[in-house]
């Protein structure tokens, strides 16, 4: 049974465009706490990241740590999920 005071995780999907041939550097960011998925993809973006955190500030800090500091990142778009996380069965 979960407490009503328990904080819920927020989920962000981050679309990343990188300089050619450098997407794997961003994918290595999956080692950072809060990064749940980091995959290279084909299409208009090069990497998709899934981040989970309890606050927008935590998401911002994770993004800064893995994306903003990386000189090979050209552009990002962050999508914040508005659907509550799936409850564990």
Which CATH number does the domain housing residue 17 bear? 3.30.70.920
Tokens of 59: 């998401």
Number of H helices, E strands in the chain: 2, 4
Does 37 map to a domain? yes
| Structural domain of 16 | 10-80
d(CA 48, CA 38): 6
pLDDT, tens digit (0-9, with 9 covering 90-100), for 14-25: 999 999 999 998
Counting residues of the chain whose pLDDT is more than 70, the rounded percentage is: 85
Does 42 map to a domain? yes
Does 66 map to a domain? yes
pTM of the model: 0.81
Q: How many domains does the chain have?
A: 1
pLDDT, tens digit (0-9, with 9 covering 90-100), for 8-59: 889 999 999 999 999 998 888 778 888 999 999 999 999 999 999 999 999 9
What pLDDT, on the 0 to 100 scale, is given for residue 56? 92
């Amino acid at each position: 049974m979960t407490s009503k005071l328990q904080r819920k995780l927020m989920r962000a999907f981050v679309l990343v465009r990188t300089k050619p041939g450098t997407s794997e550097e961003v994918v290595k960011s999956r080692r950072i706490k809060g990064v749940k998925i980091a995959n290279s993809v084909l299409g208009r973006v090069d990497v998709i990241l899934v981040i989970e955190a309890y606050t927008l500030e935590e998401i911002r800090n994770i993004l800064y740590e893995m994306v903003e500091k990386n000189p090979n990142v050209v552009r990002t778009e962050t999508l914040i999920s508005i659907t509550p996380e799936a409850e564990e069965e």
